[in-house]
Amino acid sequence: MTSRPRRPSPRLASALRPPRFTGRLHDARTATAVGRWLGLAFAVCFVTGLLSHYLQQPPDWLADHLPARPTWGYRLTQGLHVATGLAAIVLLLVKLWAVYPRLFVWPPVRSVRHTLERLSVAVLVAAAVFQVLSGLLNIAEWYPWPFSFVPVHFAVAWIAAGSVLLHIVVKAPEIRTHWSRRSTGTLGLPAEDVHDRRSLLIGMGAAVGAVTLTTVGQSFTPLKTFDLLAPRHPDHGTQGLPVNRTAAAAGVAARDLGAWRLEVTGPRPYTLTLDALRALPLARVRLPIACVEGWSVLAEWDGVRVRDLVARAGGRPGHSALRVTSLEVSGSYRVTEMGATYADDPLTLLALALNGRTLSLDHGFPARMIAPNRPGVLQTKWVHRLEVL
Ligand SMILES: Nc1nc2c(c(=O)[nH]1)N[C@H]1C(S)=C(S)[C@@H](COP(=O)(O)O)O[C@H]1N2
Ligand SMILES: [Mo]
């Protein structure tokens, strides 16, 4: 004996039915076409992000071997990190648009395998959205969250990278089918689809181009005229250089600097007044400040070579690292460490002047660090103590 299953009323049934998507661009082919650009942007962003991370927080065994060359290295890699991250926002939106009808696939779970696949996509989407949004808010210096940006952005990068790899492996058959243009015929897709897809991709390219053109001038200064949307303009700031942390924000006031002395500790410790420092042999270097937030500017710096200060304190050339302490009252970059390659580099200065004039208070008066191929956060301002380690 079988009992007839109870049917829901027609109205309820139509309310429960998932929406139907008739647009033809919500398909695997579009997802592949957009996905390869998104994958490329994520790959560049991930690698440059790792570089930035290990330049800022190297493990002990690496700290004394970080490369101080090329001088523009960090400027390039961090410029790319922020540019590809911004481009990824556009690409991610198009990709999500192409695939979102799958959220309505019914029934939502079909098998263990299907469930796992959907969960992995959920993790991927969450991690990708988190990375581009947290990065965007970071360059705007807006932190509307209770955690600290750097460790969380770093950790989620691994989750994103892992889930992208998993996604590529799971989707490999579809990616292979749709990768090349030639597969069109074999799939028998109607011709108008090709044109629609091409229009979508051209629109996406134009949007990426517009975002890049209006922001990349913050680090790629030949395009600075078009830098309309980036949070920083390379020319806006005192002495021709933007200021991230002002003296006021750091709690450094001109009236406290009267008694300033540079203290250098090591086997032969000493202190120097500003006049004594100025009387030492000075060097002039052209080096960029390259902020982790993506902006960078080339400038001319005058100061005392750090290797000379280290040698005078009895440090071993090429082997001594430094701990640098700022007058700043509090803040994550009050005390920084400099590995031996930087400390020994002839271009690394304790700078006293910027673009031909004494450092302004906002740029770190009386003395600041400037070293080649280093993240801006480590170019410590308002230096007052060097410990030769
Ligand atoms: N003591 C101290 N130095 C610091 C900072 C800081 O917060 N405290 N900020 C750094 C950051 S994030 C950057 S990008 C550079 C910017 O230098 P500028 O303000 O002279 O352009 O200074 C660095 N030096
Ligand atoms: Mo910075």
Please list, in sequence order, all residues whose beta carbon lies within 8 angstroms of the beta carbon of residue 52, skipping any fewer than 6 positions away: 74, 77, 78, 81, 292, 375
Distance from the alpha carbon of residue 121 to the mean position of ligand 2, in angstroms = 34
Ligand 1 in reach of 328 Cβ (< 6 A): yes
Task: Give me ligand 1 centre to Cα 289, in Å.
Answer: 9
State if residue 326 touches ligand 1 by the CB under 6 angstroms criterion: yes
Quick one: which atom of ligand 1 is closest to the CA of 290? 14
Q: Ligand 1 pocket: which of 139, 323, 333 to mutate (most atoms <8 Å of CB)?
A: 333
* pLDDT score recorded for residue 186: 46
pLDDT at 262: 98
Q: Is the CB of 171 within 6 Å of ligand 1?
A: no
Q: How many angstroms is it from 324 CA to the middle of ligand 1? A: 13
**pTM of the predicted structure, to 2 decimals:** 0.93
Residue 241 CA: which ligand 1 atom is closest? 21
The rounded distance, in Å, linking the Cα atoms of 146 and 308 is 43
| Residue 342 near ligand 1, beta carbon < 6 Å | no
Q: Which of 262, 251, 231, 234 is nearest to 362 (CA)?
A: 251
Pocket test for ligand 1, best of 55, 244, 359, 385 (most atoms within 8 A of CB): 244
pLDDT for the residue numbered 10: 79
Ligand in nearest proximity to the CA of 382: 1
Residue of minimum CA distance from atom 23 in ligand 1:
377
Which positions of the chain have pLDDT values less than 50?
1, 185-186
Atom 11 of ligand 1: nearest residue by CA position: 377
pLDDT tens-place string over residues 26-54: 999 999 999 999 999 999 999 999 999 99
- Say what the pLDDT of residue 368 is: 98
User: What is the 3-class SS of the chain, one letter each residue?
Assistant: CCCCCCCCCHHHHHHHCCCCCCCCCCCHHHHHHHHHHHHHHHHHHHHHHHHHHHHHCCCHHHHCCCCCCCCCHHHHHHHHHHHHHHHHHHHHHHHHHHHHHHHHCCCCCCCHHHHHHHHHHHHHHHHHHHHHHHHHHHHCCCCCCCCCHHHHHHHHHHHHHHHHHHHHHHCHHHHHHHHCCCHHHHHCCCHHHHHHHHHHHHHHHHHHHHHHHCCHHHCCHHHHHHCCCCCCCCCCCHHHCCCCCCHHHHCCCHHHHCCCCEEEECCCCEEECHHHHHCCCEEEEEEEEECCCCCEEEEEEEEEEHHHHHHHCCCCCCCCCEEEEECCCCCCCCEEEECHHHHHCCCCEEEEEECCEECCHHHCCCCEEECCCCCHHHCCCCEEEEEEC
Does 246 sit in the ligand 1 pocket, CB within 6 Å?
Answer: no
Domains, in order of start, for the chain:
21-226 (1.20.950), 239-388 (3.90.420.10)
For the CA of 383, the closest atom of ligand 1 is 1
